[in-house]
Amino acid sequence: MVILSTVSMYLIPVLLFVILATAIYKKVPAYETFVDGAKDGFQLAIGIIPPLVAMLVAISIFRASGALDFILAGIAPLLAMVGVPPDIVPLAIMRPLSGTGALGIMSDLIAVHGPDSLIGRMASTMQGSTDTTLYVITVYFGAVGIKKIGDALKVGLLADVCGLLAAIFFVVLVFGSM
């Protein structure tokens, strides 16, 4: 645990050192090259704005209108039958759609149930074990202008289902029954 966080802490400085050391070795003009490469950064970030605005506005409307709650109310009993606690369902649905939304639900669950409760541990594991699929697709494909995304969303969401169920399974396995 301590070793891991130390590695994470040193990784970026070490990486920068290695990059600069090879630049000296290969006689690359580091400063000019940096400025040249960095130019694209601004353009790329600006290019992400349109797809991201489109997606986040749609998700906000979907949440604020109560449509999400309606779907949750329909799905929760079904998931309860497979052993998913109803409290955790909103987080499971939100996790692939909105990172900040999921973070909000997770903090709320931890505040209400306590971080060391079964629900709190489940929420923590779910939040940490996967990324926001819709955001990743919007940013990566938006940045390079991919319009036809093929099976990307299907693959991402199905993998999320597996990951989220695995989170519930492992928490119950490690921290005891419900």
Q: Are 56 and 134 in contact (CB under 8 A)?
A: no
DSSP label at residue 22: H
**Site residues (CB under 8 A) for another protein, limited to 96-125:** 96, 100, 103, 106-107, 110-111, 114-116, 120-121, 124-125
What sign results for the dihedral spanned by CA atoms 56, 61, 66, 71? Answer: negative
- Check binding of 6 to another protein (CB under 8 A): no
Encoded one letter per residue, x for contact with another protein by CB under 8 A and - for no contact, window 72-91 reads --------------------
Letter for the amino acid at 44?
L
- Check binding of 160 to another protein (CB under 8 A): yes
Out of 14, 17, 44, 86, the residue judged to bind another protein by CB under 8 A:
44
**Site residues (CB under 8 A) for another protein, limited to 129-158:** 129-133, 136-137, 139-141, 143-156, 158
Say if residue 37 is exposed, middle or buried (CB neighbours under 10 Å; 0-12, 13-18, 19+).
Answer: exposed
- Check binding of 34 to another protein (CB under 8 A): yes
Write down how long the chain is. 178
Q: Which is nearer to another protein, 55 or 76 (CB)?
A: 55
Q: How far is the CB of 77 from another protein (least distance, A)?
A: 20
Among 73, 76, 132, 138, residue whose Cα is nearest residue 104: 132
